[in-house]
Amino acid sequence: MYIIMSKEREMIRPDIYREKLNDKRWHDKRQRILERDKNKCIICNSSHNLIVHHKQYHFIKSLQVFKDPWDYKDKYLITLCSSCHSIGHSRWDVPVKYL
């Protein structure tokens, strides 16, 4: 099973991505972003069920892999509640930037 990441049809296996989200480096990065955004959704100000969302994905062409979630600059990460996150994903594709 794969998750389609964008219109460009790049794919990542959800089990591998889930492993990366359990990595300490992601937990530390996620905590920093939550604190920066004052532990609130930047759209509705909810403080419940918060998710740190990637505004774009970065695909490293030479390696044929996506960047690890913790390797993104903070400006590409935002805090959303699960509701705003779901609405956003239902309306827009997350763009992929090729590096």
55-83: pLDDT as tens digits: 999 999 898 888 999 999 999 999 999 99
pLDDT for 45: 98
For the chain, list residues with pLDDT below 70: 1-12
Q: Which residue has the tokens 């989200």?
A: 21
Whether pTM exceeds 0.95: no
Residue 14 phi/psi, 5-degree rounding, is -65, -30
What sign does the dihedral 75-63-8-25 (CA atoms) show? negative
pLDDT for 12: 65
pLDDT for 15: 76
Q: Residue 92: in which H helix or E strand, if any?
A: none
- Partnered with residue 42 across adjacent β-strands are none
